[in-house]
Amino acid sequence: MYTTRQAENSDYEFLFELKKSAEFEPIKAVFGWNENVQRKIHREEWDEEKPIIIEVDGVAVGSYLVQFHAEHLYFCRFFLLPKYQGKGIGSQVLKTVIELANQKSLPIKLSYLQGNRVGQLYKRFGFEVTGQDKEFVYMLKPC
């Protein structure tokens, strides 16, 4: 259904456009969309750690990142191009991450922007809301 690979320098602009296409409306609703601010955040995230690229038939369609911490895994930067949403790819990615967490006997933490419908997907996979503020919803999947 899909394959993954580590992001390369040539993916930098794709990843910015991916985030923009997947999260423009929630970001606009919560913070207001400012292209310069979003590019700065993108650069900081890129410099911190490069995500995994999700490909379908050799074409990049999404990304995610799993950060390993002593007490938990942190799942972030999970985006799919809109035309690939609702096709089971996100569910398969989550199943893979949950299997990894189970192997390591660690819970998974994540957060997402208020108003982003991805929360429905996380709830289906057993993630529980642990808190929220006007910007983010915070979730945990116990191990």
Residue 109 lies in a domain: no
Mind listing the pLDDT tens digit for each residue in 10-42?
A: 999 999 999 999 999 999 998 999 999 999 999
Residue 40 lies in a domain: yes
Residue 1 pLDDT > 90 = no
Residue 78 lies in a domain: yes
Asked if 140 contacts 127 with a C-beta cutoff of 8 angstroms, the reply is yes
Residue 116 lies in a domain: no
Mind listing the pLDDT tens digit for each residue in 110-130?
A: 999 998 889 999 999 999 999
Percent of the chain with pLDDT over 70: 100
Distance CA 127, CA 142 (A): 8
* DSSP line for 36-98: HHHHHHHHHHHHH---EEEEETTEEEEEEEEEE-SS-EEEEEEEE-GGGTTSSHHHHHHHHHH
3-state secondary structure of 26: helix
Q: What is the CATH number of the domain that holds 69?
A: 3.40.630.30
| Structural domains of the chain, count | 1
Residue 62 lies in a domain: yes
Name which of 70, 68, 81 is nearest 15 in CA terms.
Answer: 81
Structural domain boundaries, residue 31 = 3-104
Asked if 121 contacts 137 with a C-beta cutoff of 8 angstroms, the reply is no
Residue 136 lies in a domain: no
